[in-house]
Structure 1
Amino acid sequence: MNPLAIGNSRSKQQLRLNWPDGREQRLDHVELRRQCPCSQCRAFRLRGMAPLVDDRVQVVEVNAQGYGLQLIFSDGHDRGIYPWPYLAQLAPEPTGI
C-alpha cells in the first residue's frame, strides 16, 4: 500500500505520509536515519550497535522508487531505500489523544 501524499518538512525535521486508510504518519528525520535499512546500517544494528547520527541531520531529498522511498540525508547518506511496509511500521499508531 503506497501513501496518497508525501511531505518533507526540513524546519520540523519530519517526513509526513498520508496513507489510504486515513492515517497520517510523521517520522522524525534523525530516527529515519538511525533506522536506515541499507546493508551497512542493518549490519551495525545486528551487532548491537547503532549508527552515530547527528541530531541535526535532515532529509534533503525524497525519491520515490516504486516500492518505497530513497531518502537522502544532509550527512550524505543515501544508500537506504525504505519500502512502504517498513515505513508504515516505524511510527506507533496514533493514540487519538
Structure 2
Amino acid sequence: MDAPSALRNLRNQTCLTLEWADGERQTISHARLRGACPCSQCRAARLRGVIAVVDEGVRLERIALQGYGVQLVFSDGHERGIFPWGYLRELGCAGSDR
C-alpha cells in the first residue's frame, strides 16, 4: 500500500490525520494508536489476552517515516512499533475515530 498523500499531527490536537490518494480522510486518536501498537511486545501481550489500558492523555510526540509505514513515538515513552500504511488505514476504518 502506498503512503498517504498527507499526514498531520498538530500538537494541540489528540488525533493523527491521514489523507489518502483516493480522497479518503481519516483521523485516529493517539490513544487508539498506542493501544493498537504492532510491536512484538504489544502483539504478544494481546495474544496472551492482556489488554493494556491506555491513558486517554497519551500523545503522539514524533513520527519517523520508515518507507512502508511510520514509527510512532508516544508521550509514555513507547517507541517500538512501526505502523505499516495498510494497518493505519484499517485502524481508521475499523474505529469510531473517522
Q: Does 1:58 align with 2:59?
A: yes
How far has the Cα of 1:72 moved from its partner?
Answer: 0.2
Distance 2:51 2:63 in 1: 23
Distance 1:91 1:17 in 2: 9
TM-score normalised by length of structure 2: 0.89
**Partner amino acid, structure 1, of 2:64:** N
Q: Where in structure 2 are the equivalents of 1:1-97 lying within 5 Å?
A: 1-92=2-93
How far has the Cα of 1:52 moved from its partner?
Answer: 2.9
How far has the Cα of 1:54 moved from its partner?
Answer: 1.5
Local SS of the residue matching 2:93 = coil
Distance 1:50 1:9 in 2: 28
Local SS of the residue matching 2:80 = coil
How far has the Cα of 1:77 moved from its partner?
Answer: 0.2
**Partner amino acid, structure 1, of 2:63:** V
Distance 1:24 1:41 in 2: 27
Could you list the runs of 5+ residues in structure 2 that have no partner in the other structure?
Answer: none
**Partner amino acid, structure 2, of 1:65:** Q
How far has the Cα of 1:10 moved from its partner?
Answer: 3.1
Give CA deviations for 1:69-88 in whole Å, capped at 9, x if unaligned: 00000000000000001001
Structural RMSD (CA): 1.2
Distance 1:40 1:72 in 2: 15
Moved over 3 A (4+): none
